[in-house]
Chains A and B, each alone.
Chain A
Amino acid sequence: MSASEDIWILGIHMTKFGKHPTLDSVDLGAEAIIGALADGGVTMADMGILAAGNLMGSGGIGQQLQKQVGQTGIPVYNVSNACATGATALRTAIMAIRAGECDMGLAVGVEKLAGAGLLGGGGKPKSDEKVWDPSGRYGAVANPDGRIGTNTMPGVFAQIGMEYGHKYGGATFELFARISEKNHAHSTLNPLAAYSKAMTLEQIMGDMMIAYPNTRSMCSANCDGAAAAVVVSGEKLRTLSKEQQRRAVKVSASILTTDPWEEACQILPNVNTLTKNAATQAYEKAGGGPADLDLVEWHDCFATAELVHYDNLGLCEEGGAVEFFESGATWRTGLLPVNVSGGLESKGHPIAATGIANIWEICQHLRDECGDRQIEGAKVGLAHVIGLGSSCGVHILEKSGL
């Protein structure tokens, strides 16, 4: 085997997102793996690597899954990269193929999150506040969360959207709610979404406030789910059947970045610069630009987050995100549909599965297999995730020309 630059997705599968009270993480992950292998027309015997992600579980999800779907002795990489975990698992498999270690690999992400409640807040409250005792890297005598800003995810991402508004204007409560209205409307065509009900602007704005300006329906939905993908080198793909070659989706860019240091980046997470960097690298690698994209799935973990990425991924001029959204371009029927799946706000966000599920959505459109929500003639799509802390994964995918 030689190092390969030419990487393809051969098979991919996502489970229904939502509540699965009778299934555990291994059940869901196994369903995704078996589905992806069947979709690609291959078996565990063909896999040379397994990369697996699961954030909330007990660890070692890769080996737990092998014990159900096939123990072939291949290397397992258990990866963890916050909400970018799924994308990181996929990229791990891609790197192994690119390095010439194997010609086929498997990536899976799975999460059990239904009913998990608010993420990121608080941690362990100090029960012994009887003596003010400094501890930690800030010498804090009490938990800073809630006393010095907020660590809750809805609150952090609310500020990220508001910061954009401070810089460029126009980012009102109503504007953010209308982004959510779009994604909830899109979800009505997605049978795998955790929530697939359209919501009116009044319902969204009148919903329970979580962290202004994010109401409950503007927050990603905690749910259970899994997604898995089989990746293959171009050389190997050309030895497979015509049908496998036709349905395969080309990975024309697979990029992972973290945030470079800049003023304030350790105060409020900066999800902008690392996304801009990832997008620039991805467009360069794919030899194209935003104008070539037919659809985009990205990390709308909160309505306030979707806004800033119109700008970060270069879909509009710097500072033009509000105007770009208001043009209607990002609706399913618009010039450049964003989050046709319903996005994380309605499809759901089982953290480690999200990065592969976004790619599944793009693949279904590129294969012309997306049913009622098919974007006609889709040839190129982009999938983006942010893991706070931070990591950004961007994949550009292309319809097979084989």
Chain B
Amino acid sequence: MNQVPLVDYLVLGNQPHLAVNRCTSCGANFFDRRNACAACFGTSFEKADVPTGGVLTAFTIVTFAAPGIDVPFVAGVVDCGGISVRANVINTPPDPEHVSLGMKVRLATYSLGLDDQGTEAVGFGFEPA
């Protein structure tokens, strides 16, 4: 089946992972399309893989969100070997008993469904490790 990632920095395949645009001058990491480096103003970037395991350094449990988003869900920041990643915490109940600061998590993917051409979109989150 054809698959497409939710965002272009999610690399699918046998071992799904995230990849950053890394500034070749100063090593700053970015997830978006770049015009230049915000840290050193350089314009040369290379792809670098982000570790799939990390630690949850901030989170919130969102009860009110945009239409089409199931609530409640856990949004947070995961420190993956020194690279901070914005993501949801998935595959665990969205409550303060099951989600805690400092918990170890790992990357997980899930299906967003098929489009009319039969292509499946794949999203990611982090689940308790």
Q: Do A and B bind each other?
A: yes
Interface residues of A (CB under 8 A from B): 118, 121-123, 125, 129-132, 134, 137-150, 152, 154-156, 158-160, 162-163, 165-166, 173, 208-214, 261, 263-264, 266-268
- Interface residue B105 (Cβ < 8 Å from any Cβ of A): no
Q: A121-B66, A143-B66, A159-B60 are in contact. Are A138 and B8 (CB under 8 A)?
A: yes
Structural contact, B61 and A211, CB atoms closer than 8 A: yes
Of the listed residues B32, B65, B87, the one surrounded by the most CB atoms of chain A closer than 10 A to its CB is B65
Q: Which residue of chain A lies nearest to B74 when distances are taken between CB atoms in the complex?
A: A212
List chain A residues, Cβ under 8 A from B84. 263-264, 267-268
List chain B residues, Cβ under 8 A from A158. 60
Structural contact, B4 and A155, CB atoms closer than 8 A: no
List chain A residues, Cβ under 8 A from B75. 146, 149-150, 155, 159
Structural contact, B121 and A142, CB atoms closer than 8 A: yes
* Chain B: minimal CB distance from A259 (Å): 10
Number of interface residues, chain B, beta carbon within 8 A? 50
* Chain A: minimal CB distance from B79 (Å): 8
Of the listed residues B32, B86, B96, the one surrounded by the most CB atoms of chain A closer than 10 A to its CB is B86
Structural contact, B9 and A142, CB atoms closer than 8 A: no
* Chain A: minimal CB distance from B51 (Å): 15
Structural contact, A129 and B63, CB atoms closer than 8 A: no
Known: A261-B38, A266-B38. 13 other contacts (CB 8 A): A121-B65, A138-B7, A139-B7, A141-B7, A147-B6, A154-B64, A158-B60, A166-B101, A214-B60, A266-B30, A267-B85, A267-B86, A268-B84
* Chain B: minimal CB distance from A42 (Å): 44
The answer, among A129, A150, A166, for a CB contact under 8 Å with B62, is A150
Structural contact, A163 and B77, CB atoms closer than 8 A: yes
List chain B residues, Cβ under 8 A from A150. 60, 62, 65, 75
The answer, among A118, A148, A166, for a CB contact under 8 Å with B57, is A166
- Binary contact track B76-106/A, C-beta < 8 Å → 1, others 0: 1100001111111000000010000110000
The answer, among B31, B64, B124, for a CB contact under 8 Å with A211, is B64
Q: Which residue of chain A lies nearest to B56 when distances are taken between CB atoms in the complex?
A: A166
Q: Which residue of chain B lies nearest to A158 when distances are taken between CB atoms in the complex?
A: B60
Report the bound CA distance from A364 to B53 in whole Å.
53
Structural contact, B76 and A159, CB atoms closer than 8 A: yes
Structural contact, B58 and A146, CB atoms closer than 8 A: no
List chain B residues, Cβ under 8 A from A173. 96
Structural contact, B58 and A152, CB atoms closer than 8 A: no
Q: Which residue of chain A lies nearest to B102 when distances are taken between CB atoms in the complex?
A: A166
* Chain B: minimal CB distance from A166 (Å): 4
* Chain B: minimal CB distance from A273 (Å): 13
Structural contact, A129 and B115, CB atoms closer than 8 A: yes
Structural contact, B6 and A142, CB atoms closer than 8 A: yes
Q: A137-B33, A138-B8 are in contact. Are A159 and B61 (CB under 8 A)?
A: no
Structural contact, B61 and A212, CB atoms closer than 8 A: yes
Structural contact, A122 and B61, CB atoms closer than 8 A: no
Structural contact, B60 and A142, CB atoms closer than 8 A: no
Q: Which residue of chain A lies nearest to B63 when distances are taken between CB atoms in the complex?
A: A209
Q: Which residue of chain B lies nearest to A169 when distances are taken between CB atoms in the complex?
A: B101
- Interface residue B108 (Cβ < 8 Å from any Cβ of A): no
Structural contact, A132 and B119, CB atoms closer than 8 A: yes
Structural contact, A162 and B101, CB atoms closer than 8 A: yes
List chain A residues, Cβ under 8 A from B28. 261, 263
List chain A residues, Cβ under 8 A from B77. 149, 159, 163, 264, 267-268
List chain A residues, Cβ under 8 A from B86. 148-149, 267-268
List chain A residues, Cβ under 8 A from B115. 129-132
* Chain B: minimal CB distance from A117 (Å): 9
Report the bound CA distance from A214 to B121 in whole Å.
32
Structural contact, A209 and B61, CB atoms closer than 8 A: yes
Of the listed residues B4, B69, B119, B121, the one surrounded by the most CB atoms of chain A closer than 10 A to its CB is B69
List chain A residues, Cβ under 8 A from B13. none
* Chain B: minimal CB distance from A39 (Å): 39
